[in-house]
Structure 1
Amino acid sequence: MATFRAPKRLFCAAAETAASLPSSSRWERLKNSKAGVWCRSMLSDYKEACREVVVGARDQPLKASVYVSLLGGAWACFHTSPDQSSFEATMWERSNQLGLLSPWIRNASSDGHVQSLVKLHNEGRLRHASLGLFSVVYQADYDPDTMLYEAQCSDLAVPWRELPRRVLDIGFIGHWWILNSKMKDYDINENEFKHLPAEMQVTAPPSAQQVERNERLHKESWLAVTVEDGEKETNSSVSGEIQMKPPSGEQTQTH
């Protein structure tokens, strides 16, 4: 026991001496320690880096504006990257839109894509992965709650190199682009027009002149016919009939 008393006394004496030292000397010892020197050097490096950024932005404003725009765009993409709940809400909304239509007028491509997504969701095989600037939704082989060996073994999991073939949608800037593109003209059944000639299957939007003409004719069709216009038309028709009849003298001479 005597061997442990000497270190104990030395430790207690050092503690009493450190406590008796003034606060200024303790602060100086903390600054001169390894941790204090490391913190001061790190703060000095950050200060120098900030000063160089300010000086560089002042000397090259165009380059600085480009960097700021890229950083702002990256932050906006990261902030607006949609999550899995957003994809499910969009999927159910598109499914409801198709459900309001008759099966005879639904677009086959839109209906097939949405129905496959709903089936995978019901089977628990839809997966969502956030990649920072954008998100992806892909299909898996099994539900995560399935207790099969193939579903629980990590060595049999789908490798990352097969992810591009399994991607179902890409979420970027708050939109799911593949699902929105599949829903284009979702209320037009293209199979109804496949028997028509090729020139009749393709329609072009009307020009601005045609739209203005159709609108003008539509507005004129609702205008009421005035009495003066009706009298003028009646008088003109009566005068035309009188001119068409030959005189009575000519009729007697022919006989």
Structure 2
Amino acid sequence: MASLRAATRMFCAAAETAAAAAAPAAPVRRSRWERVKNSKAVGWCRGLVTDYKEACKEIVVGAWARPAKATVYLTLMGGAGACFYTNPDQSSFEAALVEHSNQLGLLSPWIRNAKSDGHIQSLVKFHNEGRLRHASLGVLSLVYWANYDTDSTLYEAQCSNLSMPWLEFRQRVLDVGFGSRWWILNSKMQDYDMNEGEFKHLPAHMQVSSPPSVQEVEKNEKLHKDSWLALTMEAEEEEVHELDSVEEKVSEEQTEPLKEEQT
């Protein structure tokens, strides 16, 4: 009987072992952080960071090997960034146009510069008609004029086949913005309070004025300082004596011919 019980136990243990081996393994439950860590998105981000890390490493090694080339590239990139940051927009052009038109409005038409006045008047006309356009090219901006207003519903204004040809774009450019300045507008406003037509009848040498030299400036400053000094009596007496001596000499020269005629 004991041997039968032992054989039964051995048979049951062998059956349980075989069943456990044949049964599929239970899935191991992982945490949420492990699932996120092993996801495809995290793997893609990890690869991207590795690529950028290698690229930065190559840039540093290349800059250390060729410092002159790296300096040129950094200068160009810094200049492009500065130009992009200081690129003027359309509102700055309109503000500059209003400011310069007010400056000319304070002057009489007789003393306005014809070039400045004509350029400002044409810009104001295009602005009032809604025909001014602004185009930003990143590092600089262009202002040009169009044929029609943006809100116009005419067929010519809406048809793309009748739009402005690119060959005429150069002739339509009114101003160039670069470095927070509008260069054509500023150049046209040079000497805006000088009417060149008033001096066209003068000789050529009188139409051009040259700046004074250093000696002339020093001389004028000395004369200006001397004009504030008080006159002394000695200087006046010396001047009177000099005038008297000159008059005596003149009178003697006039009387000598008369004496010779009498003799």
**Common fold: TM-score over 0.5:** yes
The equivalent position to 2:60 in structure 1, one of 54, 58, 83, is 54
Q: Secondary structure at the match of 1:179?
A: helix
Matches of 1:230 and 1:167 in 2, distance apart?
A: 69
Superposed CA offset, 1:3-58 (max 9, x none): xxxxxxxxxxxxxx79x43336424531xx3x444333322221111011112222
1:115 aligns with 2:121: yes
Matches of 2:65 and 2:128 in 1, distance apart?
A: 58
Residue identity over aligned pairs, in percent, reads 62
Change (3 A) 1:109 1:44: same
CA shift for structure 1 position 174: 0.5
Q: Secondary structure at the match of 1:225?
A: coil
Matches of 1:203 and 1:114 in 2, distance apart?
A: 26
Q: Could you list the runs of 5+ residues in structure 2 that have no partner in the other structure?
A: 1-26, 253-258
The equivalent position to 1:23 in structure 2, one of 32, 46, 53, is 32
Is the 2:132–2:143 Cα contact (8 Å) retained in structure 1?
A: yes
Superposed CA offset, 1:220-240 (max 9, x none): 223221222223333444566
1:211 aligns with 2:250: no
The equivalent position to 2:131 in structure 1, one of 125, 135, 138, is 125
Q: Following superposition of structure 1 onto structure 2, how do residues 32-51 of structure 1 map, counting pairs within 5 Å? A: 33=40, 35-51=41-57
CA shift for structure 1 position 95: 0.8
Change (3 A) 1:228 1:130: same
CA shift for structure 1 position 206: 1.7
Larger radius of gyration: 2
Q: Secondary structure at the match of 1:137?
A: strand
Matches of 1:144 and 1:245 in 2, distance apart?
A: 90
Q: What is the total number of aligned residue pairs between the two structures?
A: 229
Q: Secondary structure at the match of 1:41?
A: helix
Is the 2:139–2:178 Cα contact (8 Å) retained in structure 1?
A: yes
* Bigger mean CA deviation after superposition, 179-188 or 216-225: 216-225
Q: Secondary structure at the match of 2:38?
A: helix
User: Which residue does the alignment assign to 2:161?
Assistant: 155
Residue type at the aligned position of 1:162:
E
Matches of 1:196 and 1:243 in 2, distance apart?
A: 44
1:73 aligns with 2:79: yes
Residue type at the aligned position of 1:198:
A
Is the 2:175–2:183 Cα contact (8 Å) retained in structure 1?
A: yes
CA shift for structure 1 position 81: 0.7
Residue type at the aligned position of 1:229:
A
* Bigger mean CA deviation after superposition, 161-170 or 38-47: 38-47
TM-score scaled by structure 2?
0.77
Q: Secondary structure at the match of 1:67?
A: helix
TM-score scaled by structure 1?
0.80
CA shift for structure 1 position 159: 3.7
Superposed CA offset, 1:103-161 (max 9, x none): 11111111000000001111010111111001111001111111111112333322444
Matches of 1:198 and 1:236 in 2, distance apart?
A: 43
Q: Following superposition of structure 1 onto structure 2, how do residues 1-255 of structure 1 map, counting pairs within 5 Å? A: 20-23=29-32, 25-27=34-36, 29-30=38-39, 33=40, 35-238=41-244
Q: Could you list the runs of 5+ residues in structure 1 that have no partner in the other structure?
A: 1-16
Cα-Cα RMSD: 2.5
Matches of 2:159 and 2:251 in 1, distance apart?
A: 104
User: Which residue does the alignment assign to 1:7?
Assistant: none
Matches of 1:233 and 1:202 in 2, distance apart?
A: 40
Is the 2:36–2:42 Cα contact (8 Å) retained in structure 1?
A: no
Residue type at the aligned position of 2:110:
W
Is the 2:113–2:195 Cα contact (8 Å) retained in structure 1?
A: yes
